[in-house]
């Protein structure tokens, strides 16, 4: 910066800036808000400018968001929006296992199950959380530090950019756990990966790799995170060394199987996870965003968000109403199964048993629900 500009700042900056924050910046438990110095393309710290790191901090529960954490995210994105010295938002989570696995299934099972009126209030917070990301006045970079599943995939896709470490899996959980991915995935996925692949992900709920997410168009960039003997290697459980199989079908990014998968898992155990390349890639993108006119950048991403925003605004209130009522039967059953199940009993109901009962016209009684719990006699 030249001396003239510096002098002008001294002379013209108001002594007292207006405070446009709705509430004094208080971050709720489970969400960290940190302004980290912004860097230029050369990697040097730029004085007086920052990137706001918003971090989901609930690693024991795979950074799933509780009711309080949903409030915290709304406040954090609002604070970042109003911070004049913030260039971009980095939206991430603690650790290297999970970015976010969606709504907190323990809270869903033990508080919201059978409580549609309570869940309707919660879903006001959820909807406002997704809307706060889509309305953020700064560009939002989702730093995928680990698996992005269920509502975690939904809030992640609300960001403008996604950079993922390549051990992360992506996907939905909806119909396997008693919900539907109508908290954003059914709005964003068709736009981002096409209707057919969106249908597969939103109904079958099979996880897919970061390489596949990158190929399908959900990621701006992916970086290796596994280091073996000090050297970064691509995710060893995923096919990354060829694009087609012998029949000309795309296999790049698909999970390995059989012996190859077993070898990949063994390699995974040998190595250590290092997210330094992920942070480098995130900082590099933020530096590029810094190198733009602020209002023109804002106008550009506001316009480019519109396809997601239009779909989201068209559906979010209907979705909220349906998800609330769904807490009376299938969500009540599915989230209880996940919460009460374990590795031995499994964490999903016997879908065949449920379908056979319903096919006979059996009503949703508490006894039927209890009989469907994993491990129920
Ligand atoms: C497939 C998984 C993501 C990963 O499986 P795995 O690697 O086998 O780990 P687990 O042993 O299952 O989990 C490790 C511990 O983390 C706890 N955990 C995981 N996810 C959650 C969660 N979402 N909430 C609370 N706790 C969670 C798990 O209980 C383990 O702890 P423990 O003490 O029990 O050993 C798998 O973890 C999985 O499927 N997770 C649940 C995904 C899910 O159903 N999310 C909610 C989907 S619905 C949603 O997000 C919605 C959003 C808004 C709109 C409405 C809606 O439904």
Asked if residue 366 lies in contact with residue 332, where contact means CB atoms within 8 angstroms, the answer is no
Asked if residue 316 lies in contact with residue 127, where contact means CB atoms within 8 angstroms, the answer is yes
Please determine, for residue 25, whether its predicted confidence score (pLDDT) is greater than 70: no
- Looking up tokens 């959980």 gives 173
* CB burial of residue 374 (10 Å; 0-12, 13-18, 19+): middle
Q: Which of 64, 66, 98, 101 to mutate to test the pocket of ligand 1 (most atoms within 8 A of CB)?
A: 101
Q: Is the CB of 64 under 6 A from ligand 1?
A: yes
Residues with Cβ < 8 Å from 331, sequence gap 6 or more?
108, 112, 113, 119, 178, 179, 323
- What pLDDT was estimated at residue 203? 98
Q: Tell me the per-residue pLDDT of 201-211, one tens digit each, with 9 for 90 and over.
A: 999 999 999 99
Average pLDDT over residues 145-161: 98
Please tell me the distance from the alpha carbon of residue 7 to that of residue 1, in angstroms, as a whole number.
10
Please tell me the distance from the alpha carbon of residue 184 to that of residue 312, in angstroms, as a whole number.
6
- Give the number of the atom of ligand 1 that is nearest the alpha carbon of residue 149: 3
Q: Tell me the per-residue pLDDT of 333-349, one tens digit each, with 9 for 90 and over.
A: 999 999 999 999 999 99
Please tell me the distance from the alpha carbon of residue 296 to that of residue 245, in angstroms, as a whole number.
45
Q: Is the CB of 106 under 6 A from ligand 1?
A: yes
Q: Is the CB of 173 under 6 A from ligand 1?
A: yes
The rounded Å distance from CA 203 to ligand 1 centre is 17
Q: Residue 308: phi, psi to the nearest 5? A: -65, -45
The CATH class for the domain spanning 21-225+274-318 reads alpha beta
Q: Tell me the per-residue pLDDT of 257-301, one tens digit each, with 9 for 90 and over.
A: 999 999 999 999 999 999 999 999 999 999 999 999 999 999 999
Average pLDDT over residues 343-365: 95
The rounded Å distance from CA 64 to ligand 1 centre is 7
Residues of 210-230 as b/e, b for ≥16 C-beta within 10 angstroms?
bbbbbbbebbbebbbbbbeee
Q: Is the CB of 316 under 6 A from ligand 1?
A: no
Please determine, for residue 26, whether its predicted confidence score (pLDDT) is greater than 80: no
Q: Whose CA is nearest to atom 41 of ligand 1?
A: 101
- What pLDDT was estimated at residue 187? 98
- What pLDDT was estimated at residue 183? 97
Q: Which of 56, 58, 61 to mutate to test the pocket of ligand 1 (most atoms within 8 A of CB)?
A: 61
Q: Is the CB of 105 under 6 A from ligand 1?
A: yes
Q: Whose CA is nearest to atom 17 of ligand 1?
A: 61
Chain-wide mean pLDDT for the chain? 95
The rounded Å distance from CA 376 to ligand 1 centre is 21
The rounded Å distance from CA 122 to ligand 1 centre is 18
Asked if residue 178 lies in contact with residue 143, where contact means CB atoms within 8 angstroms, the answer is no
Looking at the chain, the whole-number percentage of residues with pLDDT higher than 90 is 92
Please determine, for residue 18, whether its predicted confidence score (pLDDT) is greater than 80: no
For the chain, list the strands marked E by DSSP: 31-39, 45-56, 86-93, 98-100, 140-144, 147-149, 161-165, 169-171, 208-209, 221-223, 226-228, 231-233, 272-273
Q: Is the CB of 58 under 6 A from ligand 1?
A: no
Residues of 59-72 as b/e, b for ≥16 C-beta within 10 angstroms?
eebbbbbbbbbbbb
Asked if residue 80 lies in contact with residue 86, where contact means CB atoms within 8 angstroms, the answer is yes
Q: Whose CA is nearest to atom 55 of ligand 1?
A: 183
The rounded Å distance from CA 338 to ligand 1 centre is 8
The rounded Å distance from CA 80 to ligand 1 centre is 28
Average pLDDT over residues 340-364: 95
- What pLDDT was estimated at residue 28? 81
Q: Which of 60, 62, 127 to mutate to test the pocket of ligand 1 (most atoms within 8 A of CB)?
A: 62
Q: Whose CA is nearest to atom 16 of ligand 1?
A: 61
- What pLDDT was estimated at residue 15? 85
Domain ranges of the chain: 21-225+274-318
Q: Tell me the per-residue pLDDT of 184-195, one tens digit each, with 9 for 90 and over.
A: 999 999 999 999
Q: Tell me the per-residue pLDDT of 35-52, one tens digit each, with 9 for 90 and over.
A: 999 999 999 999 999 999
Strand order in the sheet with 161-165: 31-39, 45-56, 86-93, 140-144, 161-165, 221-223
- What pLDDT was estimated at residue 27? 73
- What pLDDT was estimated at residue 118? 94
């Amino acid at each position: 910066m030249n001396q003239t500009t510096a002098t002008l700042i001294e002379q013209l900056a108001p002594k007292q800036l207006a405070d446009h924050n709705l509430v004094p910046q208080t971050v709720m438990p489970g969400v960290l808000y940190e302004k980290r110095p912004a860097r230029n393309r050369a990697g040097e710290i730029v004085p007086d400018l920052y990137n706001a790191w918003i971090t989901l901090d609930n690693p024991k529960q795979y950074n799933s968001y509780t009711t309080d954490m949903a409030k915290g995210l709304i406040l954090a994105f609002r604070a970042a929006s109003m911070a004049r010295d913030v260039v971009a938002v980095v939206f991430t989570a603690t650790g290297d296992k999970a970015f976010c696995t969606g709504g907190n299934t323990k809270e869903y099972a033990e508080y919201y199950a059978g409580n549609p009126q309570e869940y309707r209030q919660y879903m006001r917070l959820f909807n406002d959380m997704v809307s706060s990301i889509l309305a953020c006045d700064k560009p939002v970079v989702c730093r995928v530090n680990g698996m992005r599943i269920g509502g975690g995939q939904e809030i992640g896709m609300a960001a403008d950019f996604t950079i993922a470490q390549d051990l992360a899996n992506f996907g939905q959980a909806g119909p396997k756990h008693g919900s539907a991915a109508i908290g954003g995935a059914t709005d964003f996925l068709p736009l981002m990966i096409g209707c057919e692949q969106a249908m597969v992900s939103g109904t079958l709920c099979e996880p897919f790799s970061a390489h596949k997410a990158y190929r399908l168009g959900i990621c701006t960039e992916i970086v290796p995170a596994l280091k073996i003997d000090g050297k970064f290697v691509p995710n060893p459980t995923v096919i990354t060394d060829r694009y087609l199989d012998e029949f000309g079908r795309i296999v790049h990014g698909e999970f390995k199987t059989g012996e190859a998968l077993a070898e990949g898992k063994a390699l995974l155990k040998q190595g250590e996870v290092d997210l330094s390349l992920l942070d480098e890639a995130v900082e590099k993108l933020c530096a590029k965003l810094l190198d733009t006119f602020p209002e023109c950048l804002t106008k550009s991403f506001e316009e480019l968000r519109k396809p997601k925003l239009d779909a989201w605004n068209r559906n979010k209130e209907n979705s909220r109403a349906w998800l609330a009522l769904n807490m009376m039967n299938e969500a009540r059953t599915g989230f209880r199964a996940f919460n009460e199940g374990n590795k031995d009993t499994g964490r999903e109901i016997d879908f065949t048993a449920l379908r056979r009962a319903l096919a006979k016209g059996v009503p949703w009684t508490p006894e039927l629900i209890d009989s469907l719990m994993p491990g129920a006699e």
